[in-house]
Chains A and B, each alone.
Chain A
Amino acid sequence: MLDSLINDSMILLQAVSVIVVAALLISRSRYFAEIMDERATWKNQLVLILVFGIVSIYGSVIGINVLGGIINVRDLGPLVAGLSCGPVVGLGSGLIGAAFRFSQGGFTAPACSFVVTLAGLLGGLVYLCKGRFPSVVFATIFAVFFELLHMMLTLVISQPFDLAWSVVSQALGPMVLANGVGMLIFASIISNVIRERETKKERDSYQLELQKKQAELVVAADIQKSFLPGKIPDLDGFDIAATTIPAKEVGGDFYDFIEQDDNLECVIADVSGKGVPAALFMALSRIILRACAAPQRRASERLRCANKMIVDDSGSATSGMFVTLFFASLNRIDRSLVYANAGHNPPLLFRAASSSIERMDVTGVALGMMEDMEYEQRQLVLESGDILLLYTDGIVEAMNGKEEFFGENRLRSSLAAATELSAQGILDSILRDLNRFSAGAEQSDDITAMVIKVRGRSGSLNQ
């Protein structure tokens, strides 16, 4: 008695092991993966029909003694085949199981053959209705109900009824139990694989997105860099320095120098937004401002022309893009300066004579916002020792760990403390102060600045 119980248990354990191994092998196979990706071909379907067919044959021959009834798990293979791969694979493997069962003979052979075919077909129909493998709970309940149907059909089809009744009444409980548990194992493993694949897909698309983003960062930085002046021009009587420190995601800051006879035109600008769109808009703005150059257009006409071209050619009204830009034309002979400011952070002007700092205020709207805008221009004469500081909002909006801005006041103090230095010295000193202030907080925007210092008149003229 004990021996046979141990023996039966061993066979049961063996059956469970075979099902687990089969489920693992099938669900990890290339063919199964292809079907999951909705790439069904006659080849992968044929392979899976054969494999699930063999699982069905195994379910017929195993013949486990459970609670006194000899039971089989023949329906399990085709059921899973239908539920996971659709009606073709379900029906195909069901037919293999049916052919084998029919060849075994016995009075329940017609009923059992019919039922195993039905298993594949019904599983496939469920797949079609759901469009995917159902949940583990659904699949298990489905298997239980299918076995109840199996028993009913056996009673209806098999003759004589009395004999069929005695077989069914003994096997009913164990069959439902065995197929239910078998489905639970199979479905759990398949669900796991499906979940893993979905997670992987999400991860892959996220990584792809990240790679794209990084490539974009590089492209934007390259565009920006290639449109900055290679060197700072020499202009008699002026000492000039400029730099730009791009943020991780570049923001389209730029500066430019344009030489026109006795004038040197100095530009600093900041394009709205970040990344590739900002970098392209920056390149466009720079070229347009150069294209609008003409000897008589010293400032207001230049910005008027540039604004018109940007609005007309870039579709900036639709995209909302704009560029704040400060334009100054320095005359080498009389040291006059004409400027116009299109919505840019007002540059600071240190006057050596009074040791005071003035702002070079906005004289018009940022370029690209609206067509037909007017820009005022202002003129002033520079004296020895005067210092112009042009900058972008990356400086005044740089933050420290306490989320405070560097601000214009700190910038003024920084400038005031460095007026004795050369242009490059002043620039370095301001950036050092800025660095000390932000103390390692991430730089979120481009930082761009230009310093123009007026030299003392040489020899014979003033000194």
Chain B
Amino acid sequence: MSKMEIIHNLIEDIPVLFVSGKIDAVTSKDLETALIGLIDQNKKFLIINMEKVEFLSSSGLRVLMASLNKLKHRDGDLLLAALQPFVKDVFFLTGASRFFSIYPNQGEAINSLQAQSR
């Protein structure tokens, strides 16, 4: 019923997770595993492309918050791209949008990281 897929990509040396489907109490565990895996590889910057995420529950937002805090702790960041209306509402309603760098699409997220590293 609740299905989510994660595709790992490496674009310009930046790990990008392309997530699709619903991030709920069940699937958020897989997202957490994927994010912790990358964080444990000592990655500092991660991008999640959420273009195909149609639902985000509080469990999912918790996983994103935890990863964001870990990355910020090592002066990194978690960038979010292409939030759909429902997902955007969750971020703005809870106020989580104040802590994340949110971009309209994946390209702009990558550009901003490259501009920072230059």
A residues near B, CB below 8 A? 249, 251, 270-274, 317-322, 324, 342-345, 362, 364-366, 369-370, 373, 393, 397, 444-445
Q: Are B59 and A369 in contact (CB under 8 A)?
A: no
**In the complex, which residue of chain A has the Cβ closest to the Cβ of B96?**
A369
Partner of B62, one of A320, A342, A343, A397: A320
Cβ-based interface call for B113 (8 A): no
Which partner residue on chain A sits nearest B54 by CB separation? A403
Residues of B1-57 whose CB lies within 8 A of A: 24-25, 57
Q: Complex formed: what's the CA distance from A317 to B93 in Å?
A: 19
* Chain B interface, >50% SS class: helix
Give the residue among A318, A344, A369, A444 with the most B Cβ atoms within 10 A.
Answer: A369
B25 touches A324 (CB 8 A): no
Chain A residue numbers with a CB within 8 Å of B64 are 320
Bitwise, B84-98 to A at CB < 8 A (1) or not (0) is: 000000000111101
Decide: A320 near B58, CB < 8 A? Known: A249-B25, A369-B94.
Answer: no
B99 touches A366 (CB 8 A): no
Contact pick for B58, options A270, A362, A364, A373, CB 8 Å: A270
A162 shortest CB reach to chain B, Å? 71
Verify A274–B94 contact, CB threshold 8 A: no
Contact between A319 and B66, CB atoms less than 8 A apart? yes
> Known: A318-B66, A318-B69. Is A272-B58 also a contact (CB below 8 A)?
yes
**With contacts A274-B25, A317-B69, A370-B99 known, is A322 near B62, CB below 8 A?**
yes
Instruction: Decide if A324 touches B94 in the complex (CB within 8 Å).
Output: yes
In the complex with contacts A274-B25, A445-B57, A321-B94 CB distance below 8 A: no
For chain B, give the interface size range.
20 to 34
Q: A365-B96, A369-B96 provided; 4 other pairs, C-beta below 8 A?
A: A274-B59, A320-B66, A344-B93, A345-B93
Q: Is the CB of A273 within 8 A of B59?
A: yes
Secondary structure dominating the interface of A: loop
Partner of B96, one of A317, A345, A366, A445: A366
> Chain A residues near B67 (CB, 8 Å)?
320
Subset of 20 A-B contacts with CB under 8 Å? A270-B58, A272-B58, A272-B62, A273-B62, A320-B65, A320-B66, A322-B58, A322-B94, A324-B58, A324-B93, A343-B94, A343-B95, A345-B93, A365-B95, A369-B65, A369-B94, A369-B95, A370-B98, A373-B95, A444-B24
Chain A residue at minimum C-beta to C-beta distance from B1 = A442
Min Cβ gap A141→B in Å is 42
Given A320-B65, A322-B65, also A273-B95 (CB < 8 A): no
The 7 closest A-B pairs by CB, nearest first: A320-B66, A365-B95, A320-B65, A343-B94, A272-B58, A272-B62, A320-B62
Find the B residue at minimum CB distance from A274.
B25
Inter-chain contacts of B94 with A (CB < 8 A): 322, 324, 343, 365-366, 369
C-alpha gap A319/B59 in the complex (Å): 11
Given known contacts A249-B25, A273-B25, A274-B25, A362 and B93 CB-to-CB distance under 8 angstroms: yes
A38 to B96, CA, bound (A): 52
CB-CB under 8 A from B66, the residues of chain A are 318-320
How far in angstroms is the closest Cβ of chain A from B76?
A: 15
Chain B residues contacting A369 (CB-CB under 8 Å) are: 65, 94-96, 99
**What residues on B are CB-neighbors of A397 within 8 Å?**
57
Closest to B92 in A: A362
Instruction: List, in ascending order, chain A residues with CB within 8 A of B59's CB.
Output: 272-274
In the bound assembly, the distance between CA atoms of A324 and B65 in angstroms comes to: 14
On chain B, the residues within 8 Å of A444 by CB distance are 24-25
Residues of B within 8 A of A365 (CB): 94-96, 98
* Separation of A274 and B29 alpha carbons in the complex (Å): 11
Shortest CB–CB separation between residue B85 and chain A, in angstroms?
12
Write out, one digit per residue, whether chain B residues 59-79 have a CB within 8 A of any chain A CB (1) or not (0): 101111111111000000000
Identify which of B57, B94, B98 gathers the most chain A CB atoms within 10 Å of its CB.
B94
Give the distance to chain A from B80, nearest Cβ to Cβ, in Å. Answer: 14
